[in-house]
Amino acid sequence: MSPTTCILSTRASSSGRTPRSWKARRVLVRAHAEIVEGPIAPARSPRLLELTHRLSLRYLGPNGPAYAERTLGRPRVLVHLGPTQWTTWTGGEWHPRYR
């Protein structure tokens, strides 16, 4: 299987603040993707249940677990990404190569 390309940018933490040194950083990642589990609802998977609660708190803050509880019946897919190539750059705009 050929690598999948993902383009990510920084975003604020759950506190709403991004460290100044992180602003406008970009990363292009080529990776092999492997489905580890799912699609399955977290209510039926102890592994996804724990992950859902942990990530909801991390990325949505104190109200995250309440959101997670309301969505426990919705299926999710756990994917492992094994990076094969990283390209990073800084600046306010995408590098012309990636537009």
pTM beyond cutoff 0.85? no
pLDDT of residue 86: 87
Which helix H or strand E contains 69, and what residues bound it? helix 64-70
Measured between alpha carbons, how far is 17 from 12 in angstroms, rounded to an integer? 5
Question: CA nearest 49: which of 33, 13, 79, 73?
Answer: 73
User: Across the chain, what does the average pLDDT equal?
Assistant: 80
Partnered with residue 90 across adjacent β-strands are 25
Q: List, for residues 33-78, the tens digit of each pLDDT value.
A: 999 999 999 999 999 999 999 999 999 999 999 999 999 999 999 9
Residue-range definition of the domain harbouring residue 89 = 4-98
Overall number of domains in the chain: 1
DSSP letter, residue 21: G
